[in-house]
Amino acid sequence: MSQQREELKRLKLESATERCQAIEESLKLFQGRIESSPATRKVIELILRAIGGIKNFIETESANPDLVLLTDAELEKRIHRVTRVIPAIHLLVGIVEHSDITSVPAELAAPLRTEIDNLYSSTAELIITSSPTLNYSIQRLARADLQESLNLKRHHLKGFPKRLFVASLPSIEYDQALQHCIFAHELSHPLWEDLKIQKSLPRLTLDNKRLLQLTERLGKRNSGSKKKRDAFKALEEASRAPQRVSAATLEWCKELTSDLFALALFGPAFLFSVIYFTCSFNRLDSASDSHPPPRLRLNLLFRFLDLLYTAKSVFSPKTRTFLNKWRLIGAQQIHVKEEVHELVLDTLRKSEISDRLPSLAFELLPKLRSRYTQKDYKRDIKVLCPLIEAQIPPAEYLFKGEHVRANFVGILNAGWESYLKGLKGYQAKLPQGRKTTPYEVKRNYNSFLLKALELNDAIRSWRASLDTLQ
Amino acid sequence: MILSNDRIRSLLLDESMPLDRRLVISPILNWDTQLKPGGSSIDVRLGQRFRVPRRTKIDRLDHLSDFYMENVEQYKDVYHVLVGDYFVLHPRQFVLGNTLEWIHLPETLAAYVIGRSSWGRDGLVIATATGVHPRYSGVLTLEITNLGEIPVRLYPGLTIAQLFIHTVVGHAGGKAIPSFSGSTNPENADAAGDEKLIIKRIAKDRGFEHLD
């Protein structure tokens, strides 16, 4: 073997060894942590298994005399085939890094895992993690993809969930229970594929004339400019426009559909959290290729709400007034900034997708394994809100001499309903030191709701364990 | 008058009583073992949060300091231990824990928290500030110390203390809310309260210069 090839082999194997050692060292810091989900441990086991595979390979290759027979390119390829998984391992470490219960609310993790289980059966698991961005997101990791990206054999993933959801919440606001209802949107994303919604949508009607005009306009923008860079940019934008319109239309449909199913899963609590978090913080008409403007989301959510919540007395007068104000805000005309997004809006309108989506979601409701209905909402508001007003956690309620465990989603809905009503009763029962500012009251209230979720889960897990023993 | 277990049970299940005037202890995971027949107390379980002191640059806790609560926040870590897991309390270690149950007392009832003797025999002191006032609503903070010679594992969900409930004779002070009411987790509190200013004033008049 030439000296260069020997050097190439030495450094590649040494570098890979060091990367593996660094990952192992970082995982040591996770020992003794309390994870919010058992899936974190499963991911860590998988990482260690993948590292073990790389280390075995390095050990064998270091002593492999046949490597002299390979060319430089063949040698590189042979080593890279195994060490290419290291960046994927780094990503996985990043996923589990902030998933322990000092980073995420454990009170929420347990019931959300149960929701995932109800919705997608026991083939799915959830890890909640926090990140420094003011954003909620979800990643889906399929078992088959992990096997491929980590170079593992099928039997190595035995017992690993078929689908792993990694949901991320903003780290600074990790204790804001009400706001976390946004998660319902993230949990609903896989339904697009599962229920084959794309096939049920009407054919897309693209306004070709307008698209052509847009392409021409984009192409002409900056023409004659002395800056060549601008001219090229304009040409690139013009050529990408048709593809951007069709891709954004699809992405918006996915987002809007997830919103609708989230409303079916989490009830009005989801809509309230969208209004409070997404709409009140972001600009109502700001859109991107991946996300529709919040105003359009509101518009469709209200149309779907009207299909699901038909009873006149379902909302309290205060909540109804609040909803009506936001219904009007959502019904106003949308003024997006970019022409591409205007065209996407136009496509949705002309293809009647914005009209069709709420009714399509309504037709598909029986296919959901779990949902929260108007009847559930009415019951929960009736029995749980008075508990909240009396400062008793709505984890369970007394009915005909028996304690009935409340529904996790019901707690969040009752929580929102009482919050919208102004929390007068609740606030009156707080000592002066806990209500010096409105934010302090809200913080205490969110903590109170998290306590209700914790107690609710304690009842669930205790009874489940008792049933198993009996 | 201490309430018997039968009386506690009937109050807990009395739906006719308005919520404000209702006794609530939630959740009771096992009625038979927590409210033993013939007894006069209800067992309560260890909750999932612990506040643990850590070594910092803070040189003292001073209830007369304006920064008392800030100092307390800085010198304690909060651990969340899930049911099924455990927390190790080392000899002479002191932590704050809380009851798993939420306690809601009407204005006609007060309570005392006492450690269970089975834990006491392991050297564990469960609660020292044991009175719970009428109209209290929240989890109960437990001051837990291991006076024994070997570490003890604390499992959230195990019954750790017992609550003796008393009737309050006479009028229980208008609508005043107990100062710790609304507790969702174990917490410290500023003991000096309203008296802080008075004692500071006296100290100043007498020329003491030990205050911040």
- From first to last of the 470 residues of chain A, give the pLDDT tens digit: 577 778 888 888 888 899 999 999 999 888 878 888 888 988 999 899 999 989 988 888 888 878 777 888 888 888 888 888 899 899 889 888 888 888 888 888 888 888 888 888 767 888 988 888 888 888 888 888 888 888 888 888 888 888 888 888 888 877 889 998 998 998 898 899 889 998 888 887 777 788 888 777 777 665 555 555 566 666 777 777 778 888 999 999 999 999 999 999 999 999 999 999 887 778 899 999 999 999 999 999 999 999 999 988 899 999 999 999 999 999 999 999 988 899 999 999 888 888 899 999 999 999 998 899 999 999 999 999 999 999 999 999 999 999 999 999 999 999 999 999 989 889 999 988 888 888 899 999 999 999 999 999 999 999 999 988 87
**Would residue B190 count as lying in a domain?**
yes
Rounded (10°) CA dihedral A69, A72, A73, A75: 60
From B143, B149, B195, B209, the catalytic residue: B143
Residue-number span of the structural domain to which B87 is assigned: 5-205
Q: What angle do CA B15, B20, B22 make, to 5 degrees?
A: 40
Number of C-beta neighbours around residue A23 at 10 A: 19
Q: Tell me: the pLDDT tens digits for A29-72?
A: 888 788 888 889 889 998 999 999 899 888 888 888 787 778 88
Burial of A66 (C-beta count, 10 Å sphere; 0-12/13-18/19+): exposed
- Nearest-angstrom CA–CA distance, A464 and A43: 26
Q: Which residue in chain B is spatially nearest to A404 when comparing CA positions?
A: B27
**Is there a contact between A265 and A369 (Cβ–Cβ < 8 Å)?**
no
B26, B48, B179: residue with CB nearest A433: B179
Instruction: Check CB contact under 8 Å for B19 and A403.
Output: no
**Would residue B212 count as lying in a domain?**
no
- Nearest-angstrom CA–CA distance, A185 and A265: 9
- Nearest-angstrom CA–CA distance, B180 and B183: 6
As given in the structure block, the two tokens for residue A133 are: 């961005």
A360 vs A143, A257, A337, A343, CA distance in Å? Answer: 30, 9, 29, 23
- Report which DSSP code applies to B184: -
Nearest Cα of chain A lies from the Cα of B24 at a distance, in angstroms, of 8
As given in the structure block, the two tokens for residue A182 are: 């946004």
Give the count of domains, chain B.
Answer: 1
Number of C-beta neighbours around residue A135 at 10 A: 10
- Report which DSSP code applies to A333: P
Query: Which residues, 6 or more positions from A321, have their beta carbon under 8 angstroms from its beta carbon?
Result: none
B24, B85, B135: residue with CB nearest A392: B24
Instruction: Check CB contact under 8 Å for B104 and A431.
Output: no
**Would residue B32 count as lying in a domain?**
yes
Instruction: Check CB contact under 8 Å for A447 and B185.
Output: yes
Instruction: Check CB contact under 8 Å for B179 and A429.
Output: no
Nearest Cα of chain B lies from the Cα of A116 at a distance, in angstroms, of 20
**Which has the closest alpha carbon to A96: A65, A127, A135?**
A127
Q: Which residue in chain B is spatially nearest to A463 when comparing CA positions?
A: B29
Q: Does the annotation count B143 as an active-site position?
A: yes
Q: Which residue in chain A is spatially nearest to B99 when comparing CA positions?
A: A455
Write phi, then psi, for A263 (nearest 5 degrees): -65, -35
Q: What angle do CA A366, A367, A368 make, to 5 degrees?
A: 90
- Nearest-angstrom CA–CA distance, B118 and B114: 12
As given in the structure block, the two tokens for residue A252 are: 């918006």
**Which has the closest alpha carbon to B118: B43, B41, B9, B39?**
B43
User: In DSSP terms, which residues pair with B135 in a beta bridge?
Assistant: none
- The amino acid present at B142, given as its one-letter code, is L
* Structure-token match 């949705």, residue found: A348
Task: Tell me the whole-structure pTM to 2 decimals.
Answer: 0.88
- The amino acid present at A427, given as its one-letter code, is Q
**Would residue B51 count as lying in a domain?**
yes
- Nearest-angstrom CA–CA distance, B89 and B74: 21
**Residues of B near A (CB-CB distance < 8 A)?**
13, 15, 19-20, 22, 24, 26-29, 48, 79-83, 85, 100-102, 104, 135, 137, 139, 157, 177-182, 184-185
B28, B29, B137: residue with CB nearest A392: B137
Measured over the CA atoms of residue A19, residue A24, residue A28 and residue A34, the dihedral's sign is positive
Chain B residues touching residue A430 (CB < 8 angstroms): 177, 181-182
A186 vs A89, A138, A223, A239, A249, CA distance in Å? Answer: 24, 6, 43, 32, 19
Query: Which residues, 6 or more positions from B57, have their beta carbon under 8 angstroms from its beta carbon?
Result: none
Number of C-beta neighbours around residue A366 at 10 A: 7
As given in the structure block, the two tokens for residue A168 are: 């991320």
- Residues present in chain B in total: 212
**Would residue B211 count as lying in a domain?**
no
Angle at which helices A294-308 and A228-266 cross, to 10°: 20
- Which residue ranges make up each domain of chain A? 3-174, 206-367, 374-469
- The CATH number assigned to the domain holding B26 equals 2.70.40.10
Query: pLDDT at position B15, please?
Result: 92
> DSSP labels for A136-180?
-EEEEEEHHHHHHHTT--GGGGTTS-SEEEEEEEEGGGTT-TTGG
**Is there a contact between A275 and A301 (Cβ–Cβ < 8 Å)?**
no
